[in-house]
Homo-oligomer: A and B are copies of this chain.
Amino acid sequence: MNTQPLKIAIAGLGTVGGGTVHLLHDQAALLAQRAGRPLTMVGVAALEKPVDLPLGGVPFFTDARVMARDADYDVLVELIGGAGGIALDIVKTALGRGRSVVTANKAMIAHHGGELARLAEANNAVIGFEASVGGGIPIIKSLREGLAGNRVTQVMGILNGTCNYILTTMREQGRDFSDVLAEAQALGYAEADPSFDIDGIDTAHKLAILASLAFAMPLDIAAVAAEGIRHVSALDIRYADELGYRIKLLGVARLTDDGVESRVYPAMVPLSFPLAHVGGVFNAVVTEGDFVGRTVLEGRGAGARPTASAVVSDLMDLARGRATPTFGVPVAQLAARPAAPSGAHHSAYYIRLMVRDEPGVFADIAAALRDERVSMEQIIQRGRAPNEIVPVVMTVHETDEASMLRAVARIAALAAVAEPPRIIRIETL
């Protein structure tokens, strides 16, 4: 057994980098005991040397490329971020030198994971990316190792803490999206440019990674259809409450007879389903395997300390010599699967219309649904307000998406319908 120190070079000393330095420093004795060898920082790189980190005499680099190329390390920890650029450059440099890589960079893995895995295999190196999905939740390890005996048929989850915080706060405080988003930005929970989170792009990156692992198929970020939470209104959240649902931004990947569905969308989740109770910045992932059945893993999806916990779990695997192919099997054995056509998706739906309250409008709406063979489950309309614009909420039984969209297009074209209809999928699990 190797008892030499594991030599670690860290590129990027922002939130996660700082947390990782603190963890390696604060728990050094514990880590050495569990790993059977010390975990030693041999280099750190950042644009400016931070004054508040316990770095002691660890060599400091202002150029991460120089560190990646010249320093003597066993593993490069990439915590700079971004799909390409310097992050990708230094990871390739490290792998090319036969050094392993640990990263929290979901954008880079989602866009370049296949290429990087091939490079790692060619150079007998390992890529750890536990921190790229679900913060501190050991979901990558669970999919790749703990559930390795299963054919996974579905993986879905709440994968973006910013969105879950916004949706949870909107519900608890009855506030509007833009209002809560502005507050989250002021508090540092959301970025100045929030689109990466709230348009579902971050969730799509994470879902692509999970789908590749779950179904042993090559990464395909282009196959993930992403819809965010900008259009979720306080009104829809109130109706969801009334109907016994919570609205959550989900990433869902499932094997169907029509192919693989990989989608990100806000959904109504019944209170009987575990994801309904995952609030605030927590993330959770539900996996369905043919032997294990359903498992749910929940924890903090972001933040310096939880993400550092995941980074260090990868370092501990490297220190112990525990290795697994990047996506569970060698890259050459990943098998592409066809994407399911979007119109084939089956789901129940919530529909909210803003309608002028006038005679005959219900008949027109019902006819549009009937003509597309969409079966109404319930309808909510409170009181009468002749000639005013009022909300009308319906739920419909499971139907294919193509029929649903045709019915909604017909409804949207009715003269009495004052705004574009809002439709939200209902998860029936």
Show the binding face of A for B, using Cβ within 8 Å.
19, 23, 27, 30-31, 33-36, 130, 136-138, 141-142, 145-151, 216, 274, 277, 284, 289-300, 305-306, 308-313, 315-317, 320-325, 328-330, 333
In the complex, the answer to whether A293 meets B289 with C-beta atoms within 8 Å is no
CA distance A328 to B30 in the complex (A): 11
Listed residue (A30, A147, A149, A313) with the most chain B CB atoms within 10 angstroms of its CB: A149
CA distance A35 to B149 in the complex (A): 10
In the complex, the answer to whether A142 meets B145 with C-beta atoms within 8 Å is no
How many whole Å from A278's CB to the nearest CB in chain B? 8
Complex partner residue of A296 from B36, B298, B324, CB under 8 angstroms: B298
Given A141-B142, A142-B141, A296-B296 in contact, is the A34-B291 Cβ separation under 8 Å? no
10 residue pairs bridging A and B, Cβ less than 8 Å apart: A23-B291, A31-B149, A33-B329, A138-B295, A149-B309, A274-B277, A284-B296, A291-B306, A292-B310, A321-B323
CA distance A393 to B19 in the complex (A): 47
Complex partner residue of A295 from B34, B137, B311, B321, CB under 8 angstroms: B137
Copies in the complex: 2
In the complex, the answer to whether B141 meets A145 with C-beta atoms within 8 Å is yes
How many whole Å from A226's CB to the nearest CB in chain B? 27
With a CB–CB cut-off of 8 A, which chain B residues contact A328? 34
CA distance A130 to B147 in the complex (A): 11
How many whole Å from A139's CB to the nearest CB in chain B? 9
CA distance A147 to B312 in the complex (A): 9
Given A277-B277, A299-B292, A300-B294 in contact, is the A313-B136 Cβ separation under 8 Å? no
Specify the main secondary structure of chain A where it touches its partner.
mixed
Shortest Cβ distance from A313 into B: residue: B146
With a CB–CB cut-off of 8 A, which chain B residues contact A317? 145, 322
How many whole Å from A51's CB to the nearest CB in chain B? 22
CA distance A160 to B312 in the complex (A): 32
CA distance A35 to B34 in the complex (A): 24
How many whole Å from A39's CB to the nearest CB in chain B? 9
Listed residue (A130, A290, A293) with the most chain B CB atoms within 10 angstroms of its CB: A293
With a CB–CB cut-off of 8 A, which chain B residues contact A316? 145, 148-149
With a CB–CB cut-off of 8 A, which chain B residues contact A297? 295-298
With a CB–CB cut-off of 8 A, which chain B residues contact A290? 305
Shortest Cβ distance from A141 into B: residue: B146
Listed residue (A36, A284, A313) with the most chain B CB atoms within 10 angstroms of its CB: A313
How many whole Å from A294's CB to the nearest CB in chain B? 7
CA distance A364 to B308 in the complex (A): 55
CA distance A130 to B148 in the complex (A): 13
In the complex, the answer to whether A151 meets B296 with C-beta atoms within 8 Å is no
CA distance A29 to B368 in the complex (A): 50
With a CB–CB cut-off of 8 A, which chain B residues contact A33? 216, 329, 333
Shortest Cβ distance from A144 into B: residue: B34
CA distance A169 to B147 in the complex (A): 29
In the complex, the answer to whether B149 meets A27 with C-beta atoms within 8 Å is yes
Q: In the A-B complex, list the 7 residue pairs whose CB atoms are closest, starting with the nearest.
A: A138-B146, A149-B312, A136-B292, A295-B299, A292-B309, A322-B322, A296-B298
